[in-house]
Amino acid sequence: MSAALVVPAGTTAADAVAAAGLPQSGPKAIVVVRDADGRLRDLDWAPGQDADVEAVAMDSPDGLDVLRHSAAHVLAQAVQDVFPEAKLGIGPPIENGFYYDFDVEKPFQPEDLGKLEKRMQEIVKAGQTFRRREYASLDEAKAELKNEPYKLELVDIKGDVDEEAKAVGAGELTHYDNLDRDGNRVWGDLCRGPHLPSTRLIPAVKLMRSAAAYWRGSEKNPQLQRIYGTAWPSRDELKAYLNRLAEAERRDHRKLGTELDLFSFPDEIGSGLVVFHPKGGVIKREMEDYVRARHIEEGFQYVGTPHITKEGLFHTSGHLPYYADTMFPPMHMEGADYYLKAMNCPMHNLIFRSRGRSYRELPMRLFEFGSVYRYEKSGVVHGLTRVRGLTQDDSHSYVAAEDAPAEIKHLLNFVLSLLRDFGLDDFYLELSTRDPKSDKFIGTDEQWQTATAVLERVATETGLELVADPGGAAFYGPKISVQARDAIGRTWQMSTIQYDFNMPARFGLEYQAADGSRQEPVMIHSAKFGSIERFFGVLVEHYAGAFPAWLAPVQVVGIPIRDDHADYLEEFAARLRKEGIRAEVDHSTDRMQKKIRTAQQQKIPFMAIAGDDDVNGGTVSFRYRDGSQRNGVALDEAVAHVVEVVRSRVNTGPSAA
């Protein structure tokens, strides 16, 4: 809910909300207002002159942030009640929740979270009021916060606070006190706000876990203890969120990767470096075969480049120094420093530059499965979705500037059709642009404006939702990314398309135009999977390990009712293998029902069961993953059925297994 209001001078925003009859409790409660400058204000804000404002409800994005930030303050109060020696860090809202950092003598234990949650509920029920006040000076703030070293650091920094903290407003220092029903101060915290009017408006809160975290995100700073929590406008929404978390845990690709024997991360190799097992290798090969064939169909030429290169190449490309923090340290050999390849584009530029090029060769499209290495911090490495060694289906199109829009449209259509073939068909686009205040971007304002306008126009023409991502561009140009929603509604960044007007100039790339002049091409980067590893992990979770038949490591398993039916099923499996189907027969000594359970646990699409009637009648009986069955299917028809489902890449329904 949002509504336009006028707050008369000398009254509060709360008075205007009440006079307008807007909700003051429940999920739709108005919790703050937005003034004409776009700033969120507490409901006890009283402007000096009549003010036009917008009411902000708890269930809106801004309202949820206010709810969760207020819950973080209640958590901090509870921690200092239960652990009086605790020193306060920061406590911002985050997606779906909040956290707060503390300096305590011992790490928090699971039983501590229970105690803290109980204390939080007491504070919520007490109906404490959040009250904002400004410090008159830095000295006043330092005097009050003398026992809070981390808060003192924020005061010293004043306005120069990192993105997550934002505890100090520009040009002002503010504090929030928690007051009891008699107006007495019971607790307080340095904070920019805003907050809920009362703790009673926190209807559903739960503490999730604790973890170690460096103060202000730097390994050079002290290690604190971070408590994560979540808060929602209603108990039903909290319950639904916890159910989504449980479903996400069931689908966790790291767990399923072990259960289905797909991949592992051996300690002997190193963090973030994956080993694909035979079954995972089948899926990876299917992905590679598919995308290689699609690139060739779309006019790309397959190339290959080495895993290491001399340092100078990355200076030419501009990745050094802009990208140095995410690259592995160099190796010194034969008087030169060599880097593990962190991206493929510089080497593709060398291929383009290897001989003279004509306009007749454009668009020139180069593609490879390039293995690259990124030195991700250990704290962000996460299964297949954040690794240190990855394989990109990386491609680069070199085109005349006037042909860039058509090439981007071609690439975007390619990307969207690929995602649909893998069963991802719910997506929107994100346009990442530069931050004009940052010095990490290269190129002129005109170049950025031209490139951004081209991407925006092509993205808009798709009819898909387009979301802005200010400051999210690569240093060399803006990009479109496809944000795909999986089976349980989570969003993943998948494919990217980037407009690059910088690297062609840095590498001196040129082609001979029709009029004989030498022209500089535009370079367009695109990655369809992004990385094979990450896409693999997303697919595992999207399908909960039950891959469509065309991707399944084992597509058909024969299950004999008795051992003497196994040879018959072997003949059937042999016919399937001739058609390119991955089929095998379970020859274990387990009983038939145990074999069926094993196949279900391995999420095999087709179980082909045979007994006396099937052997005598030349049939098999199918059992599918959803529990449905087809009995007495003639062998020719059975083979045709499996082949049709696999080759059609059907992703849903019992007939798709």
Helical H segments across 462-550, by residue range: 503-506, 532-542
Task: Please give the C-alpha separations between residue 583 and each of 572, 619, 623, in angstroms, as whole numbers.
Answer: 9, 16, 15
The residue annotated as part of the active site, out of 62, 65, 112, 394, is: 394
To the query of whether residue 392 is one of the catalytic residues in this protein, the response is: yes
Cα 542 from Cα 384, distance rounded (Å): 14
Q: Are 624 and 557 in contact (CB under 8 A)?
A: no
Measured between alpha carbons, how far is 32 from 298 in angstroms, rounded to an integer? 52
Residue of 77, 128, 225, 392 with catalytic role:
392
Q: Under 8 Å CB-to-CB from 120, ≥6 apart: which residues? A: 71, 74, 75, 78, 205, 207
Quick one: how far is CA 64 from the chain centroid? 20
Bridge partners for 4 per DSSP:
54
Using left for φ > 0, alpha for ψ between -120 and 50, and beta otherwise, residue 132 falls in beta
Question: Number of H helices and number of E strands within the chain?
Answer: 19, 32
Q: State the virtual CA torsion across 446, 493, 654, 559 in degrees, nearest 10.
A: 130
Cis amide prior to 363 (ω within 30 degrees): yes
Task: Respond yes or no: is residue 525 known to be catalytic.
Answer: yes
d(CA 5, CA 422): 48
| Active-site position among 192, 195, 525, 625 | 525
Instruction: Given the residues 319, 345, 483, 534, select the one marked as catalytic.
Output: 345
* Whether 30 contacts 18, CB under 8 Å: no
Is 191 one of the annotated active-site residues of the chain?
Answer: no
3-state secondary structure of 549: coil
CA angle 161, 150, 221 (to 5 degrees): 80
Question: Active site includes 396?
Answer: yes
Encoded amino acid at 345, one letter: C
Return the closest-CA partner of residue 229 out of 254, 252, 209, 204: 209
End-to-end CA gap in the chain: 44
Tokens of 13: 């925003």
Catalytic pick among 175, 374, 603, 623? 374
How many residues appear in the chain?
Answer: 657
Residue among 396, 434, 565, 603 flagged as catalytic:
396
Q: Is 32 helix (H, G, I), strand (E, B) or coil?
A: strand
Active site residue 374: yes
The order of strands in the sheet holding 30-34 is 2-7, 51-57, 30-34, 40-41
User: Which has the closest alpha carbon to 351: 360, 338, 361?
Assistant: 361
Phi first, then psi: give them for residue 532, nearest 5 degrees: -60, -40
Q: Which of 479, 528, 534, 623 is catalytic?
A: 479
Residue positions annotated with a catalytic role:
345, 374, 392, 394, 396, 479, 525
